[in-house]
Amino acid sequence: MCGIVGYIGTQQAAPLLLEGLARLEHRGYDSAGVAVLGSGGLKVAKRAGRVRDLADGLPKRFGGKIGIGHTRWATHGPANDANAHPHTDEAARVAVVHNGIIDNAAALRAELADDGIVLASDTDTEVLAHLIARSGAATLEQRIAEALGRVEGTYGIAVAHADFPDRLVVARNGSPLIIGVGDREMHVASDLAALVRYTTTVAHLDDGEMATITAGGFTTYSLGRLEATGRTELMATDRRAKEVDIDPAAYDAGDHDSFMHKELLEQPARAEAVLRGRLDDRFGTGHLGGLNLDARELRGIRRVKILGCGSAYYVGQMGASLLEELARIPADAEPASEFRYRNPIVEHDTLYVAVSQSGETIDTLLAVQEVQRKGGRVIGLVNVVGSAIARQVDGGIYLHAGPEVAVASTKALTNMFLAFAMLAVQLGRVRDLSIADGRRLIAGLTRIPEQVDQVLATEAELAVVAKRLAEAENLFFVGRVRGFPVAREGAQKFKEISYRHAEAYQTSELKHGPLALISPEVPTVAIVPDDELVERNVAALHEIAARGGPLVVVTHAGVDLGDLERPGGGVVGRIDVPRNERELDPILLTIPLQVLAYHAALELGHDIDKPRNLAKSVTVE
């Protein structure tokens, strides 16, 4: 959530900050603000709305070569000018931008109010500015350390102080911060997207770490608490900057009307990237060296638990089905946000899999840490190299999806499925999966990129169906067994970007209650693969059609829908996808649902990349 940028160097800071914020707007777009430090002291400009609104209203005289900026996803208090970051103390000597949530903010606000401090906002962040200003420590670093020692919760912060005009200070605990190293200038951001135009030499801060940043470089410290005094101690660390292999053009939408459309069409190439070098046709297995597990350790796994949030959770359900079918290991997926709060039993022979596009999803990161505290082994399916989860886990599979900017996940989700498929084949081959079945599935995986391209080639036909669905205020998505997680993900996409109420159910569960809601105004998108359940699925569609419910059926060529496809029979749209192996079909059935959601949102005139109330990387609980 939210985006942080910072700059110190030889150029005017404000234009660089505004450009960086525009590149981070997918992380929060309720309000935005910047603070610059120049010869006239600290200047702050902020307002509700988009970054362009901030830029349009920026004073002409807003000079300074040191600055910080923020684009907000609201947590404490509504989206208005007062609650926008940066926040300052009463004298406007300190400016703070903050991602995360301070859990004890209410108590700290009450304490400050009792001391006569007039708080100007509803936010938790403002307390940090006042705590830093009230510190009597000699250095800015120690003042910030003292303030952070008072707070409970998560944070990624950047601080500018008029009394220390040669530096910025940043700190991290649970919310990402990256330092970018330039030529006589330094950058700060919560996401690489804001840095890559200026530098690809970066350092990722760890939790509990602080950094002093000057135009000539940076110094890092760990924040430790002295038990005897309760004071926070700064201890030097040896954080080094490293070159990252990334193309700045990957963060540009190019000729596409949105990042989501660009990312939809990138899926065939990115699917090839995640499979490349990881398929062993000779032995019919996957080759996933990053797991850091040998064949004996793989054979010792007795259960798999998958942890993710949102789309990562739904693709985790697809992965659990793959693991049970191919490796014959009990597997299930659970929302990471709930996992650690139910005091889970962590077993030594269970493999835990954390799934996150950003690698910074706080609920998933905290679940990983809970497993590790109890002695469990965790691997990650993560897209961002150097992210918090990638550094925390014991091994994993990088997704190689490339930067994903749109809030609604497409190419990363597809690559998550493919990673699960390779994991399931590799686990299966050290158990009971035959070499013939292994080779069958490896051959199926190699066909996926081309078949995804075939689905995307039908975009114009899918757009026609999407316009019909966009007219409905409420929709059902249904599927069975392998098809149910597909239905859940399809409903998620519609909710995210079209703002239509969409619910997913197992097809067999409709008759146990939800069928009461079927009417001509409520279309159903049905997932009907040509598998062992096709006859039962078609029978359930007759139950919907008998009650006047319009049907859009995502299926395979040759599946006989009978009377349903006759005029007035119920089917208002049929979408055929290419066949693969039955175990791998779910991802091909998912692709048209992504396109349907995109075109429904386009038809309704929504901001597809920045859906209301949502942000790309969820770094607050």
Strands (DSSP E) contained in 455-608 are 474-479, 501-506, 524-528, 551-556, 571-577
* pLDDT mean over 403-421: 95
Q: Are 408 and 596 in contact (CB under 8 A)?
A: no
> pLDDT tens digits for 199-210?
989 999 988 999
Q: Is the pLDDT of residue 248 over 90?
A: no
* pLDDT mean over 181-197: 91
- Higher pLDDT pick, 602 / 233: 602
> How far apart are the C-alpha atoms of 286 and 524, rounded to whole Å?
37
Question: How far from 533 is each of 198, 317, 507, 561, 582, CA to CA, in Å?
Answer: 54, 18, 11, 13, 12
> How far apart are the C-alpha atoms of 569 and 561, rounded to whole Å?
10
pTM (whole model) above 0.85: yes
Handedness of CA 515, 521, 522, 528 (dihedral sign): positive
Residue 615: pLDDT band (50, 70, 90) is: low
Q: Are 571 and 553 in contact (CB under 8 A)?
A: yes
Of 501, 500, 489, 502, residue with least CA distance to 594: 489
Q: Which amino acid is at 321?
A: S
> pLDDT tens digits for 215-234?
999 999 998 764 444 567 78
Q: Please give the DSSP secondary-structure letter assigned to residue 241.
A: -
Q: Which domains does the chain show, CATH number per domain?
A: 3-244 (3.60.20.10), 259-452 (3.40.50.10490), 458-611 (3.40.50.10490)
> How far apart are the C-alpha atoms of 419 and 290, rounded to whole Å?
12
> pLDDT tens digits for 472-498?
999 999 999 999 999 999 999 999 999
By CB neighbour count within 10 A (0-12 exposed, 13-18 middle, 19+ buried), where does 462 fall?
A: buried
For this structure, is 411 an active site residue?
A: no
> How far apart are the C-alpha atoms of 310 and 416, rounded to whole Å?
13
> How far apart are the C-alpha atoms of 614 and 601, rounded to whole Å?
15
Q: Is the pLDDT of residue 103 over 70?
A: yes
Neighbours of 299 (CB within 10 A): 12
Query: Measured between alpha carbons, how far apart are the two ends of the chain, in Å?
Result: 10
Of 608, 603, 595, 596, residue with least CA distance to 471: 603
- 43, 305, 610, 616: which one is catalytic? 616
Which of the residue ranges 109-118, 447-456, 516-525 has the most confident prediction, judged by mean pLDDT? 447-456
> How far apart are the C-alpha atoms of 185 and 155, rounded to whole Å?
25
> pLDDT tens digits for 9-40?
999 999 999 999 988 876 667 889 999 998 88
Q: Are 260 and 598 in contact (CB under 8 A)?
A: yes
> How far apart are the C-alpha atoms of 188 and 50, rounded to whole Å?
20
Give the helix ranges, DSSP H, for 499-530.
Answer: none
Which tokens sit at 367? 């679940």
Interstrand relation of 94-99 and 41-48 (parallel, antiparallel or unpaired) = unpaired
Q: How confident is the model at residue 174, as a pLDDT?
A: 83
Q: How confident is the model at residue 220, as a pLDDT?
A: 95
Which tokens sit at 81? 């000018």
Q: Work out the angle at residue 502's Cα, subtended by the Cα atoms of residues 518 and 408, and round it to the nearest 5 degrees.
A: 160
Which tokens sit at 512? 């146990």
* pLDDT mean over 546-561: 95
Measured N-to-C along each axis, helices 267-275 and 435-456 cross at an angle, to the nearest 10 degrees, of 160
> How far apart are the C-alpha atoms of 3 and 5, rounded to whole Å?
7
- 2, 305, 495, 610: which one is catalytic? 2
For this structure, is 616 an active site residue?
A: yes
Q: Which segment of 199-213, 240-254, 558-572 scores lowest on mean pLDDT?
A: 240-254
Q: How confident is the model at residue 229, as a pLDDT?
A: 46
Strands (DSSP E) contained in 64-185 are 66-72, 87-88, 94-99, 155-161, 168-173, 178-181
Q: Give the CA radius of gyration of the chain.
A: 26
Neighbours of 152 (CB within 10 A): 11
Q: How confident is the model at residue 228, as a pLDDT?
A: 43
> pLDDT tens digits for 136-163?
899 999 999 999 999 998 899 999 999 9
